């Protein structure tokens, strides 16, 4: 793939990365599809690591998603293998065999059961992923794993991403300081319905897998599942959270344990960071949108309205054109089928209410809104005036860049 996609104007530098006790990782060139860059990532976790995961709701998931779903109930993880360039989706029996061979190869190196190996693949759909390219590269990759391989891993899982994505948190858990660190990839085919593309988070906290799963599922619903780039849900979406327990915190007592509150908050905040980094790298994106909906009949309804605005091509192209075309926001509210009443609907952009209760605000002055539209971070407020439901969605604009990236031969 010789195409060069320019760096997203919304890109963020990698934060200063740390290490997570009990995690060693790295990346290698397996030559699966790309040339001259890493495309295979491995992480090894210390014995006793618990795991939680959420996956795409696609009815046509990739073979690695099936593999992880089957492995998850065990609640234990010792290794993770990720490749970029081939999603191992819609590859029939060959795809299943590739996951088995990859897991077996990693299990031999990590000296663990294959069911404690987690797998992810991202890239083209419908082409067979040759297992031996991975299994041949794994021994040298395994020998090179280190505490500080996080940046290499963040780069090794990229596909059409224009920058690597990572986030770090440090938080107290029952008197002990624990860390969380995560990486993500994703740029197109982003409309997570459970999780988005690939995101891997590790913590040195000791949290049993059931509790970890509860925290992860709730956080993903409020972060990754509130973002969209192009309304297209990937077949390979996956967020995995590994807890190595090396921080030595006191045992936690289920997801309701009050000592977990700061940890849960830090996890959600970290996942929000990573989710927004994916939107910031949305294919062709030049502007971010935060859409805040209030006054809905309930939070779920508010979420659907926010997502209808976030996914509307006409809203997204208006944002790209720096056009405060609030009529298109009204259209998107109207089309999504959720309870709405034209005559109680209010719309604002950049903190200025443009329309209230079904008509334009008397003496509406477009000046501050026009100035806001020239910025990179666009805020849209919608008040449905029906109830107390509220929710948010994050999206990006739709530009020529998206067409360039996806309208050329076989991205």
Kindly identify the residues of this chain, within the stretch 94-113, that bind a second copy according to CB under 8 A. 94-95
Q: Any contact of residue 353 with a second copy (CB under 8 A)?
A: no
CB of 124 to a second copy, least distance (A): 6
Q: Any contact of residue 323 with a second copy (CB under 8 A)?
A: yes
Nearer to a second copy, 87 or 241 (CB): 87
Q: Any contact of residue 6 with a second copy (CB under 8 A)?
A: no
CB of 196 to a second copy, least distance (A): 12
Q: Any contact of residue 58 with a second copy (CB under 8 A)?
A: yes
Distance CA 40, CA 233 (A): 23
Q: Any contact of residue 311 with a second copy (CB under 8 A)?
A: yes
Residue 381 φ then ψ, to 5°: -115, 135
Handedness of CA 61, 181, 185, 322 (dihedral sign): positive
CB of 190 to a second copy, least distance (A): 10
Those residues whose C-beta lies under 8 Å from the C-beta of residue 100, and which sit 6 or more positions away, are: 114
Residue 77 φ then ψ, to 5°: -135, 140
Among 42, 44, 83, smallest CA distance to 64 is for 83
Residue 22 φ then ψ, to 5°: 100, 0
Q: Any contact of residue 3 with a second copy (CB under 8 A)?
A: no
Q: Any contact of residue 125 with a second copy (CB under 8 A)?
A: yes
Nearer to a second copy, 341 or 388 (CB): 341
Q: Any contact of residue 358 with a second copy (CB under 8 A)?
A: yes
Size of the site for a second copy (CB under 8 A): 73
32, 157 in Cβ contact below 8 A? Answer: no
| One character per residue 134-163, x = contact with a second copy (rule: CB under 8 A) | ------------------------------
Beta pairing partners, 114 = none
User: Pairing state of beta strands 238-243 and 198-203?
Assistant: parallel
Among 204, 197, 216, 196, smallest CA distance to 169 is for 204
306, 293 in Cβ contact below 8 A? Answer: yes
Kindly identify the residues of this chain, within the stretch 325-344, that bind a second copy according to CB under 8 A. 325-328, 330-343
CB of 197 to a second copy, least distance (A): 12
Nearer to a second copy, 49 or 399 (CB): 399
Tokens standing for residue 53? 């995961």
Q: Among residues 91, 98, 99, 196, which one is catalytic? A: 196
Q: Any contact of residue 281 with a second copy (CB under 8 A)?
A: no
236, 67 in Cβ contact below 8 A? Answer: no
Q: Any contact of residue 206 with a second copy (CB under 8 A)?
A: no
Q: Any contact of residue 68 with a second copy (CB under 8 A)?
A: no
Q: Which residue carries 């795991």 as its tokens?
A: 51
* Active-site residue flag, 196: yes
290, 378 in Cβ contact below 8 A? Answer: yes
Q: Any contact of residue 279 with a second copy (CB under 8 A)?
A: no
Catalytic residue IDs: 196
């Amino acid at each position: 793939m010789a195409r060069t996609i320019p760096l997203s104007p919304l890109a963020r530098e990698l934060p200063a990365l740390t290490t997570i006790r009990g995690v060693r990782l790295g990346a290698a060139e397996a030559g699966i599809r790309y040339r001259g860059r890493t495309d295979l990532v491995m992480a090894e976790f210390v014995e006793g690591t618990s795991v939680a995961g959420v996956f795409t709701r696609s009815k046509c998931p990739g073979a690695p998603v099936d593999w992880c779903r089957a492995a998850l109930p065990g609640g234990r993880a010792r290794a993770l293998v990720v490749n970029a360039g081939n999603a191992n989706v819609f590859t029939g029996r060959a795809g299943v065999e590739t996951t088995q061979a990859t897991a077996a190869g990693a299990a031999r190196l990590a000296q663990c059961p294959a069911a404690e190996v987690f797998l992810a693949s991202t890239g083209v759909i419908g082409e067979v992923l040759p297992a031996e390219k991975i299994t041949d590269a794994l021994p040298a990759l395994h020998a090179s794993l280190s505490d500080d391989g996080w940046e290499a891993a963040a780069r090794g899982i990229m596909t059409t991403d224009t920058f690597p994505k990572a986030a770090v948190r440090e938080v107290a858990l029952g008197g002990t300081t624990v860390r969380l660190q995560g990486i993500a990839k994703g740029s197109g085919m982003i409309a997570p319905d459970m999780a988005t593309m690939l995101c891997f988070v590790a913590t040195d906290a000791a949290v049993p897998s059931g509790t970890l799963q509860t925290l992860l599922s709730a956080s993903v619903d409020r972060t990754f599942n509130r973002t969209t780039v192009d309304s297209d849900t990937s077949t390979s979406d996956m967020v995995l959270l590994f807890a190595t327990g090396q921080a030595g915190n006191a045992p936690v007592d289920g997801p309701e344990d009050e000592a977990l509150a700061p940890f849960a908050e830090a996890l959600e905040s970290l996942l929000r960071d990573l989710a927004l980094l994916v939107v910031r790298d949305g294919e062709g994106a030049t502007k971010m949108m935060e859409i805040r909906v209030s006054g809905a009949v309930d939070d779920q309804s508010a979420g659907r309205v926010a997502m209808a605005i976030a996914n509307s091509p006409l809203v997204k192209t208006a944002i790209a054109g720096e056009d405060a075309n609030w009529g298109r926001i009204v259209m998107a509210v109207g089309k999504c089928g959720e309870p709405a009443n034209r005559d109680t609907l209010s719309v604002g952009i950049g903190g200025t209410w443009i329309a209230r209760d079904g008509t334009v605000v008397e003496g509406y002055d477009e000046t501050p809104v026009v100035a806001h539209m020239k910025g990179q971070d666009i805020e849209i407020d919608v008040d449905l005036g029906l109830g107390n439901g509220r929710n948010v969605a994050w999206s990006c604009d739709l530009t020529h860049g998206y067409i360039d990236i996806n309208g050329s031969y076989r991205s």
